[in-house]
Copies of this chain bind each other. A is one copy, B any other.
C-alpha cells in the first residue's frame, strides 16, 4: 500500500480513501492517479488487516442443522449467491440439530469475527446465542423462529402450508391422516402440526395422538415412525410428513410392507424431495421458495448491518402445494366415518 502511495505521490490514507471510502471523498484526478498506481503495482488490499481494523470480517456465517439436507443446501446456496453479490463470503457450520453444538458453533463463528449470522436454530435457548447477542453480532433467523429473542426472521407459512396439504388429503376422502414430524422444539414443526390439526378440526375430525409422531429430521426416523403407524390396529390411510427426508423414510417403510402409493396409502410431504416426481407415482409436496428464503435472509442481514437501529422485520413467504400421484382416495373398506 505504501508502494502504491509513493507511486501516486499521495499518502496511504488517500489510497485507502480511494479504495474503501465513499466515492467522492477524494478529488477525481487524485483518484485517477491512485487507481493507476494500483493497476501498475497489481496491489491487492489485505483484508486481514481491514478485518482487524473494522473488527469484523466480510463474512456471513450460515448455521444450520445439516447441510446434507437438501433444504439447507439450497438455502446455503442462495445465501452464498446473495452474499457474494454484496461482497460477503459465506462460512458454513452444522449443528447436527443439537443445542450444545449450536451453542458451540455460534461461539466459534462469532470468535471468527463474522459480520453476521444466518441461523436455522434448534429452537432451544443456549449460551452461544446469548453470547452472540451480547456481542452485538446481528443474527437473522431463517426457516425457524427463535423464541428467546426478537430477530429479523425469514420463514414460510407452515401453518397454511400444512393446512393446504391436509385439505388435499381430506378432499380425496381421507379421515385417518397421520403426521410424522421432527423435533417438537423446532418452530416449523410446531406450526406444521398446528396447521395439520386446524385442517382436521375444520372437518370435524379430532386429531388422534396415536397418529402423531415426532422423531428427528432424518430418513431413518421417518421410516421407523411410518412402520409404527402401519402396525397400528387401525392404520392411517394417509400420511403427512413435516419434512422431506422423513418422507423418503416413509416411502421405504411402505416398500417394506409392500404397500403402494397411492392405492394403499396416500402421502404428502412438507418441502420437496430431489427427484420427488420420480419416486413411485410422484410424492405430493408442500413446496417452499427455498431460494428466495436464502436471498431474503442475506438481504435482511445486510440491511441490519447498514442500519442497526432498523425495526425488526419478519418476512413470511408462501408455500405451494404440488399435487402429485401420491394423493389418491383411501382404499376400499378403510374406516370411513359416517357423515
Residues of A at under 8 Å CB distance from B? 44-49, 51-52, 55-59, 66-68, 70, 73-74, 76-77, 80-81, 84, 89-94, 108-109, 111-113, 248, 251-252, 255, 273-275, 277-280
Contacts and interface: CB of A to CB of B under 8 A. Distances in A.
Contact of A68 (B74, B92, B93): B74
Contacts of A80: 67, 92-94
A214 B279 CA distance: 26
Contact of A273 (B59, B68, B91, B275): B275
Contact of A92 (B66, B90, B94, B277): B90
Contacts of A74: 68
Nearest to A274: B274
B51 A278 contact: no
Contacts of A274: 70, 248, 273-275
B57 A68 contact: no
Contact of A91 (B81, B89, B255, B278): B89
Contacts of A81: 94
Contact of A48 (B46, B94, B113, B275): B113
A209 to B, nearest CB: 29
Contacts of A51: 48, 51-52, 113
Given A44-B111, A90-B93, 4 more contacts: A48-B52, A48-B55, A70-B73, A275-B275
A277 B248 CA distance: 10
A289 to B, nearest CB: 15
A73 to B, nearest CB: 5
Contact of A248 (B48, B70, B275): B275
A282 B56 CA distance: 49
Contacts of A66: 77
Which of A48, A58, A274, A280 gathers most chain B CB within 10 Å?
A: A48
A278 B108 CA distance: 39
21 contacts: A46-B113, A48-B48, A48-B55, A48-B56, A48-B57, A51-B51, A52-B52, A57-B112, A67-B67, A67-B76, A68-B73, A80-B94, A84-B108, A89-B91, A89-B112, A248-B275, A248-B278, A252-B277, A255-B278, A273-B275, A274-B274
A91 B277 CA distance: 33
Contacts of A113: 46-48, 51
